[in-house]
C-alpha cells in the first residue's frame, strides 16, 4: 500500500523527479511524460550531469548537490534550455534523500516566465506612456502659464487705460 501511495503521488505530479548521487550521476528518474525529458531515460541513467546537461546547468547542479548533502537544506535554481527548438524555463529543487543521494524535482516554469515577461513589458509601456503624458501636460501647462501672463498683462493695460480715461 505504501509503495502504491507514493507511486500515485508521483504519477499525479507534473514535475520530473531525478535521483542524483553525490558524484553527480543520475540514479533514477520519474516523469509522467517521457517526452518532457531531454533524452530517453535509459540514455542518461548512470551518466553524469556533465554528460547530459549543458555546462552551466551541470556546473550549478554540481555546486548545489554537496551543499544539500552536507546541510540537508533544500537548494534550488532556475535555468533556461532549448527543447525541440523551443526555449523552456525550469526550476529545480534539490532535497537530501540520504547521505549519498538527492532528489531533484524539476518544474517547467515557462508559462510563469512568459507572464512575468509580459508584465514587465506592460510595466515598461505604462511607464513610457506616463512619461509621454507628463511631457504633454508640462507643455500644455507652460502654454497656459504664458496665456495667463498675457491675460494678466492685458488686464493691467485695461486697468491703466480705464484709470486714465476716468482721470
Spatial distance between the Cα atoms of 50 and 21, rounded to a whole number of angstroms:
13
CB 66 within 8 A of CB 22: yes
Give how far Cα 133 sits from Cα of 17, 21, 117, 129, 137, Å. Answer: 51, 58, 24, 6, 6
> For strand 16-21 and strand 101-108, is the pairing parallel, antiparallel, or unpaired?
antiparallel
Predicted pLDDT at 68 = 97
CB 93 within 8 A of CB 105: yes
CA 10 from chain center: how many Å?
Answer: 26
Q: What is the pLDDT along the chain (167 residues), one digit of tens a residue?
A: 788 887 788 777 778 899 999 999 999 998 877 777 888 888 899 999 999 999 999 999 999 999 999 999 999 999 998 877 889 999 999 999 999 999 999 999 999 888 988 899 999 999 999 999 999 999 899 999 999 988 988 888 888 888 888 87
Predicted pLDDT at 8 = 83
Predicted pLDDT at 56 = 94
Spatial distance between the Cα atoms of 129 and 116, rounded to a whole number of angstroms:
20
What ranges in the chain are assigned the alpha helix state H?
2-12, 49-52, 55-71, 110-166
Predicted pLDDT at 85 = 83
Spatial distance between the Cα atoms of 41 and 26, rounded to a whole number of angstroms:
10
Using alpha carbons, select from 105, 108, 104 the residue that is nearest to residue 25.
104
Predicted pLDDT at 160 = 85
Amino acid at each position: 500500500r505504501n509503495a502504491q501511495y507514493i507511486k500515485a503521488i508521483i504519477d499525479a505530479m507534473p514535475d520530473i523527479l531525478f535521483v542524483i548521487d553525490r558524484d553527480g550521476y543520475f540514479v533514477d528518474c520519474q516523469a509522467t511524460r517521457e517526452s518532457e525529458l531531454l533524452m530517453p531515460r535509459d540514455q542518461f541513467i548512470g551518466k553524469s550531469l556533465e554528460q547530459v546537461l549543458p555546462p552551466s546547468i551541470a556546473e550549478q547542479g554540481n555546486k548545489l548537490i554537496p551543499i544539500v548533502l552536507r546541510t540537508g537544506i533544500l537548494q534550488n535554481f532556475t535555468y533556461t534550455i532549448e527543447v525541440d527548438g523551443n526555449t523552456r524555463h525550469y526550476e529545480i529543487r534539490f532535497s537530501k534523500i540520504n547521505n549519498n543521494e538527492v532528489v531533484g524535482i524539476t518544474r517547467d516554469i515557462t508559462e510563469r516566465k512568459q507572464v512575468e515577461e509580459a508584465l514587465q513589458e506592460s510595466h515598461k509601456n505604462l511607464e513610457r506612456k506616463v512619461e509621454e503624458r507628463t511631457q504633454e501636460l508640462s507643455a500644455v501647462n507652460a502654454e497656459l502659464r504664458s496665456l495667463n501672463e498675457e491675460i494678466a498683462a492685458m488686464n493691467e493695460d485695461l486697468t491703466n487705460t480705464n484709470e486714465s480715461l476716468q482721470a
